[in-house]
Amino acid sequence: MTKKQNQDATMEKIVSLAKQRGFVFPGSEIYGGLANTWDYGPLGVELKNNIQKEWWKFFVTERQNIVGLDAAILMNPKVWEASGHTAEFNDAQVDCKTCKARHRADHLIEDALKNVKVEGLSLKDLDKLIAENKIKCPKCGQLDFTPTRVFNLLFKTQIGVVASESNDIYLRGELAQSMFTNFKNVLNTSRKKIPFGIAQVGKVFRNEITPGNFIFRTLEFDLMEFEYFIPEKDWEETFNYWMDEMKKWLDVVGIDSSRTRVREHEKEELSHYSKKTVDIEFDTPFGWKELYGLAYRTDFDLKNHTEKSGTELSYLDPYTNEKYIPHVIEPTFGLTRSVLMVLLSAYHEEIISGENGEETRVVLKLKKNIAPFSVAVLPLTNKLNDKSQEVWNMLKSNFTTDYDVTGSIGKRYRRQDEIGTPYCVTIDFETIEKDDSVTIRDRDTMQQERIKITDLVQTLTQKLKD
């Protein structure tokens, strides 16, 4: 049997596979859905959790100077005033007068004029380009837009039982602020000395006007990030160190580094808190897009919270007796974006040549440490279910284990290939009648070998480490 590679992972193929195999479903689908909301199915939640677990291990538990936090989504609105988000966390939008579609102005220009740097343009410049009929509506193709106007990305809600007495608050637009507001608490309880970091994983909400491209840009999403506190003099060295570590992380979860590049933000596109920001971008089917970001936030946040709250958030160096407000390096990782880039990196189509001619095998070559299932137990027929259940019970404590009895053994192999299961264990009649052995099939090579059941746990453990 020979194989020819075909790795054309289009978005249509990824979205179709994600739904058919239970990775990602459209949100509220039975009611017609809600634009740009997605639900993670049985396999998607396992993949997502595994990526998060590996991130936490790589950046938190395997480092002595980074600790974790799990803060509330809702915060005192004064936090967002102090951080500048209520005033600065904005985008420009335009409406198509013909079809009434609403668009982010910078995205319109980015799509229509690939060679124009849109991030530094003023609203007046955007209006001029629209007035010169250089921008078409992506939905209807017309050139008739409203003037650009600003809207805030924070989702607003109310807290209080009685509507007339309720107070406006916000769903968090980033994870960072709770790590800044808890800086003193963590410092006092963890006994850490600078440099050290506070890490967090959680939901974030942004009222994006034009989200889209499957799970790449959504109204709610998961971030993994940490704030790394340092003296100002060390910021460049520390910035470079974490950029190198972020590149290493790509390999941990199997994101194809050959499809990534590093792009530094122009001065005009920097966030209000940033002195330097660098993105790791991924070459997606819809263009180069931001995957992860690394920002030097200076002492902007701790300084502002000190001034606005009246609580001193400085650090006393125990060795020099110097008192100062720490500066911050912030590596940010989109968890939901990681899921998409992992799927794009892992998706393969192989043309299999065998006795019955050629066929296409779709396989997700996921890294073994993040695959939803490590191993699948497959009885050759239903008559072998009792023995197969024994094998599954033996494996379940050591591995995430699927049990699949539906369809022919060939179809089950293909199904496990499509969801990225590294190994299949097949129980046949020889298992019972002859040698008490099973067949292990490798996802990537499709090679099979016979193993004694008594050696199965040890053999799979070693294979999953390789």
AA identity, residue 328? V
Return the number of other C-beta atoms located less than 10 Å from residue 425's C-beta. Answer: 24
Tokens standing for residue 403: 């049990």
Banded pLDDT at 141 (limits 50, 70, 90): confident
Domain 373-465 superfamily per CATH: Anticodon-binding domain (3.40.50.800)
Q: What is the DSSP string of 316-327?
A: E-TTT--EEPPE
Spatial separation of the C-alpha atoms in residues 207 and 151, rounded to whole Å: 9
User: pLDDT over 70 for what percent of the chain?
Assistant: 89
Token pair 């794009």 is found at: 344
Spatial separation of the C-alpha atoms in residues 291 and 110, rounded to whole Å: 17
Confidence at residue 115, expressed as pLDDT on a 0 to 100 scale: 41
pLDDT, averaged across the chain: 89
Tokens standing for residue 163: 């509507």
Q: What is the mean pLDDT of residues 86-115?
A: 68
**Domain residues of the chain, as ranges?**
2-86+154-343, 90-147, 373-465
3-state secondary structure of 25: strand
Banded pLDDT at 133 (limits 50, 70, 90): confident
pLDDT single digits (tens) 400-449: 999 999 999 999 999 999 999 999 999 999 999 999 999 999 999 999 99
Q: What is the mean pLDDT of residues 33-40?
A: 91
- 225 touches 330 (CB < 8 A): yes
Spatial separation of the C-alpha atoms in residues 198 and 229, rounded to whole Å: 8
User: 126 versus 187: which is more confidently predicted?
Assistant: 187
Where residue 138 falls (left for φ over 0; alpha for ψ -120 to 50; beta otherwise) is: alpha
Confidence at residue 300, expressed as pLDDT on a 0 to 100 scale: 94
Q: What is the mean pLDDT of residues 44-53?
A: 98
56 pLDDT above the threshold of 90: yes
Banded pLDDT at 144 (limits 50, 70, 90): confident
Bridge partners of 169? 157
Spatial separation of the C-alpha atoms in residues 401 and 424, rounded to whole Å: 10
pLDDT single digits (tens) 234-251: 999 999 999 999 999 999
Output phi, psi for 272, to 5 deg: -65, -20
CATH topology of domain 2-86+154-343: BirA Bifunctional Protein; domain 2 (3.30.930)
346 pLDDT above the threshold of 90: yes
Q: What is the mean pLDDT of residues 187-202?
A: 96
For residue 372, say if its preceding peptide bond is cis, omega within 30 degrees of 0: no
Return the number of other C-beta atoms located less than 10 Å from residue 15's C-beta. Answer: 19
pLDDT single digits (tens) 364-386: 999 999 999 999 999 999 999 99
CATH topology of domain 90-147: Rubrerythrin, domain 2 (2.20.28)
90 pLDDT above the threshold of 60: no
Element (H, E) at 403: strand 401-403
Orientation of helix 11-20 relative to helix 335-346, angle to 10°: 100
pLDDT single digits (tens) 10-25: 999 999 999 999 999 9
Q: What is the mean pLDDT of residues 277-287?
A: 94
308 pLDDT above the threshold of 80: yes
275 pLDDT above the threshold of 50: yes
Confidence at residue 119, expressed as pLDDT on a 0 to 100 scale: 45
- 205 touches 82 (CB < 8 A): no
Greatest mean pLDDT among 81-90, 98-107, 398-407 = 398-407
Tokens standing for residue 136: 């078409």
152 pLDDT above the threshold of 90: no
Confidence at residue 89, expressed as pLDDT on a 0 to 100 scale: 60
Q: What is the mean pLDDT of residues 180-207?
A: 95
